Amino acid sequence: MPESFQQALARAHTPLTRSTPEILQLNTGKLCNLTCVHCHVNAGPARKEIMTDETIDRIIQWFAQTDIPTLDLTGGTPEMVPGFRHLVDSVRSFNQPREVMTRLNATIINEPGYEWIPEYHASHQITVIASMPCYSPENVNEQRGNGVFDSSISAFQKLNELGYGRNPKLPLHFVYNPNGGFLPPEQEALKADYKREMKKHFGIDFNDLYAITNMPIARFASYLKRNGQLDEYMQTLREAFNPATVDGLMCRNTINSSWTGEVFDCDFNQMLKMGLKNETTQEPLMVWDIDPNSYAEIPIQIGDHCFGCTAGHGSSCGGSLE
């Protein structure tokens, strides 16, 4: 039997426990204008799952009462949710304003009806984290769809014109995902390559590059199965287990919520329906029922997909962990 993630933690004497929550990550839904091969959310244009105004209001009310400093919006494409601007307006107007970051699908900027995004994000000083799996058109279009590379370049140029990637108050970070069943290369070296190529060929500036491992779940797992590579990829992740990455895992300091308000350890557990339970009722734990002071006492749920976050240099929402 292959070693389980629990066994790997025990062998390395690296317990996985929570720390104080520092990030509220909201998955606002599965609606997206793209259908990417590596997408762990199975997002796409036909998906109907999005965060309702009622859920947004309940989360805003709870969030305002906490000291959690950062709101991390993901999807799907968060900007396609009708309540997106209400959510951001509210959070930025708290007595204690919070940092807001969005995991932006940059091509949405070029879609009819979404022309407001660059100026809105700049005016609210939203940190932009955007997928850019390569600096060559062929690899990007293979992973994300034909025409995505050119549309992304156009979007980044618009963001640069407003100061993104150039003004310290307007951070623009790129996300790299491997174009297949292998681990990301060393992040800093890859970042240097991106900086050089994006500036040389397109005049584009950005701040940081996050190298994130593809998780063996959902659409990417299906891709691996079709190509007979799932077992091989899982073995690659197991063999690359790095205990030094455990302390930096996103599940330690992040509260992850689905579009319904249900709480998970991370976005990957959310897609696997590994939700947390209310200790009293044993019903799904909702964001607005969390006591941030005791949240750290709840055990983290793990599975063998967690090898994806601890392989090699590690992988989190902020890129490599080592």
pLDDT in tens, 180-217: 888 999 999 999 999 999 999 899 999 999 999 999 98
Domains recognised in the chain with CATH numbers: 5-310 (3.20.20)
Per the CB < 8 A criterion, the answer to whether 259 and 51 are in contact is yes
* Rounded Cα–Cα distance for residues 93 and 231 (Å): 48
* Rounded Cα–Cα distance for residues 287 and 276 (Å): 10
How is residue 317 written in tokens?
A: 């929402």
CA distances from 242 to 238, 274, 314, 317 (A): 9, 23, 7, 17
Give the strand pairing for 70-74 and 23-27.
Answer: parallel
Per the CB < 8 A criterion, the answer to whether 136 and 202 are in contact is no
Average pLDDT, integer, range 268-282: 91
Total residues belonging to the chain: 322
Q: What is the pLDDT of residues 35-77, one digit of tens each?
A: 665 566 666 776 878 999 999 999 999 999 999 999 999 988 9
| φ, ψ at 258 (rounded to 5°) | -80, 175
**pTM assigned to the model:** 0.93
- Range among 25-34, 46-55, 60-69, 267-276 rated most confident: 60-69
Task: Name the E strands within the chain.
Answer: 23-27, 70-74, 99-104, 127-131, 172-176, 208-211, 254-257, 263-264
